[in-house]
């Protein structure tokens, strides 16, 4: 069992249940590396069931049995774009409330294990369960500080979600060898073009 959407891009996976949030964002299509996984109800259903099982495995819970409706698929796409919008804000600016108009409607339950450790149990069925799980994981990640390390790749043609493990939180690309190199090449071409335009020989 794997985080199927994220692993297509070879992006570093977020810890514990936060990887569910990352996997939702990474269901998007990227021309070079992967197709849209939420294209229609059957494909979205496959992703949802797999992601919910993986989440249950990571969190030590029982996997829910989920069946997505057409309306549920629309909600799923809305949720993905809301979360991607949150991640598109640079991590050091997220506390400033740039996206203060988002609305979250999700129910969750607090549960305690025999040792008294309290956890959050997602509630609801199908797409509602996913929304509950995703917002619960975002809440936990914001409390523990891992949220600031979940970012979108800076390459415009990619925008995949990756977990930044660099020491000073300076990671910008989901993969420095692919997206980082594309960016370096583009920057170097642009520098050469500028040099040609400003040199007398280039006029």
Burial of 156 (0-12, 13-18, 19+ CB in 10 A): exposed
Which residue from 87, 108, 158, 161 is in contact with Zn ion, where contact means CB under 5 A?
158
Stretch that binds Zn ion, among 64-72, 113-121, 138-146, 160-168 (CB under 5 A): 160-168
In the shown chain, the binding pattern of residues 62 to 101 toward Zn ion, with x for contact by CB under 5 A and - for none, equals: ----------------------------------------
Between the alpha carbon of residue 64 and those of residues 99, 145, 159, 160, the distances in Å are 31, 28, 30, 27
**Cβ 176 to Zn ion, closest distance in Å?**
9
Residue nearer to Zn ion on the CB measure, 11 or 56: 11
Binding of residue 151 to Zn ion (CB under 5 A)? no
Binding of residue 179 to Zn ion (CB under 5 A)? yes
Between the alpha carbon of residue 169 and those of residues 54, 148, 203, the distances in Å are 27, 8, 43
Residue nearer to Zn ion on the CB measure, 136 or 160: 160
Number of residues that bind Zn ion (CB under 5 A): 6
Per-residue exposure over 84-97, b if at least 16 CB sit within 10 Å of its own CB, e if not: bebbebeeeeeeee
Which residue from 150, 153, 161, 183 is in contact with Zn ion, where contact means CB under 5 A?
153
Stretch that binds Zn ion, among 80-88, 103-111, 122-130, 151-159 (CB under 5 A): 151-159
DSSP conformation class of 82: H
Binding of residue 28 to Zn ion (CB under 5 A)? no
**Cβ 152 to Zn ion, closest distance in Å?**
9
- The answer to whether 162 and 12 have CB atoms below 8 angstroms apart is yes
- The answer to whether 158 and 174 have CB atoms below 8 angstroms apart is yes
The most distant pair of C-alpha atoms in the chain lies apart, rounded to whole Å, by 77
**Cβ 119 to Zn ion, closest distance in Å?**
32
**Which spans of this chain sit near Zn ion (rule: CB under 5 A)?**
153, 155, 158, 160, 174, 179
């Amino acid at each position: 069992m794997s985080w199927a959407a994220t692993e297509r891009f070879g992006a570093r996976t977020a810890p514990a249940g936060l990887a569910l949030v990352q996997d939702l964002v990474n269901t998007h299509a990227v021309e070079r590396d992967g197709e849209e996984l939420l294209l229609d109800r059957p494909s979205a259903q496959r992703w949802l069931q797999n992601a919910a099982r993986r989440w249950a495995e990571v969190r030590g819970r029982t996997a829910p049995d989920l069946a997505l409706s057409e309306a549920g698929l629309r909600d799923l796409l809305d949720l993905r774009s809301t979360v991607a919008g949150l991640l598109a804000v640079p991590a050091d600016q997220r506390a400033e409330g740039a996206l203060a108009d988002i609305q979250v409607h999700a129910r969750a339950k607090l549960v305690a294990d025999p040792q008294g450790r309290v956890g959050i149990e997602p509630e609801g069925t199908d797409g509602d369960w996913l929304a509950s799980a995703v917002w619960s994981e975002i809440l936990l990640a914001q409390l523990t500080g891992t949220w600031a390390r979940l970012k979108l790749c800076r390459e415009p043609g990619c925008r995949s979600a990756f977990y930044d493990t660099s020491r000073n939180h300076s990671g910008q690309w989901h993969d420095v060898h692919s997206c980082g190199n594309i960016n370096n090449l583009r920057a170097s071409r642009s520098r050469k073009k500028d040099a040609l335009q400003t040199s007398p020989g280039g006029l």
